[in-house]
Amino acid sequence: MKVKPKIVGNVIKSVNPYGCRQAVLNQINYVKSKGKYAGPKKVLILGGSSSYGLATRITTAFGSGADTINVAYERGPKSPEQLGSAGWYNSIFFKQFAEQAGLIAQNFIGDAYSDTMKQRVIEYIKNEFGGKIDLLVYSLAAPKRNDPRSEKVWRSVLKPIDQSMTGENIDLEHERLFTETIAPATPEEIQGTAKVMGGEDWEWWIQALKEAHVLADDFKTVLYSYIGPQMTYPFYHEGTLGVAKTQAERSAERINQELKPLQGRALVCVSTVVTTKASVVIPIMPKYMIALYKVMTDEATHETPIMHKDRVYREMIYGKHPIYDPKGRLRADHYELRPSTQAKTAALYQQINADNFKSPMTGYAQFRKEFLNTAGFAVDGLENDEFEFSDLLNLKP
């Protein structure tokens, strides 16, 4: 059988399993082309099945020779009409490639927010993973979180605060530019977004791992964040997601106190914007992205998730060129926020309209291709994307 992209709004509802395999292989080959670096050796990634999390897993494994654990909530195939999620196949094929290279690659499929999952992972580290980890990466992005301590279900929203926001967005299903207005978040929605996308669960993971004595000396932990330029502040940095990321920065401060006995460190890594399942549904963000992509491509600084995270770990976290701001955040977004880059992006943004947004004057073609890549479609190097459904059932994470 063969699958075509099924796009609803800005979400791909279908998946090309062997396109996912090729996409993982392409990322591995990119890291290999850069050579080895001295980085972590035992890595736990929360949310390591796609985008930044998967890219982190690939660069630490194939760049630094790390054994890796991934915890992610993904869906497997149920029928020819329900083939599961891209992250399911990313995790499976990464494991295959890693094991072929002689590396340990363990996948835990389930709720990373749960205490049960924390204990399962801890037992695995103790009994089958060498006893300690030297890096934990927190890369979870979810619409909701089941809080095991209050038994409350928290939900996240992508909304401005205090006032409505009106702007132009891109509908990827119908390939049209349209104007939308986003109502401000309620206090409950602000709190819920902070609970889901903030740092509370990150803290709980560190506490559980420390109490279990499975953190190595000089242990590092990284949480991914985004700030962006001032033009995106109303619907991101000053919106509900911005509140959540600010809360995560306070969590980093507390975690750093926890890690002092180990001489460990917690970092908030402010990343560049890339095309992910999450970023394409942020209100108004896609129009900014197609302007930015054009400018950064022309400047030879545009990055995909693997290009960005390989640079972050190779050159910054385990390299000699970290960039920190006064708040101690690692600023891996310095290409995106160059004043000259932002000036060109802002000028182009103003020129983009419903008639020209798909033209070569913008980065729309690159943006759409990367969007399709997230589900295994339009992947470079894929020669055969036909498969038997029965073969998918034999793939195990």
> Bridge-partner residues for 267, per DSSP?
222
Q: How far apart are CA 265 and CA 253, in angstroms?
A: 10
Q: Which of 192, 197, 188 is nearest to 245 (CA)?
A: 197
Helices 285-298 and 364-373 cross at an angle (nearest 10°) of 110
Return the ∠ at Cα 60 (arms to 56 and 61), rounded to 5°.
Answer: 115
The answer to whether the beta carbons of residues 74 and 91 sit under 8 Å apart is yes
Query: Catalytic residue among 236, 293, 318, 364, which?
Result: 236
Q: How far apart are CA 351 and CA 56, in angstroms?
A: 36
Q: For tokens 């103790």, what's the residue?
A: 126
User: Active site includes 236?
Assistant: yes
> Bridge-partner residues for 72, per DSSP?
109
Helices 115-128 and 200-211 cross at an angle (nearest 10°) of 40
Give the up-direction half-sphere exposure of residue 52: CA atoms within 13 A in the CB hemisphere.
Answer: 26
Q: Which of the residues are catalytic?
A: 236
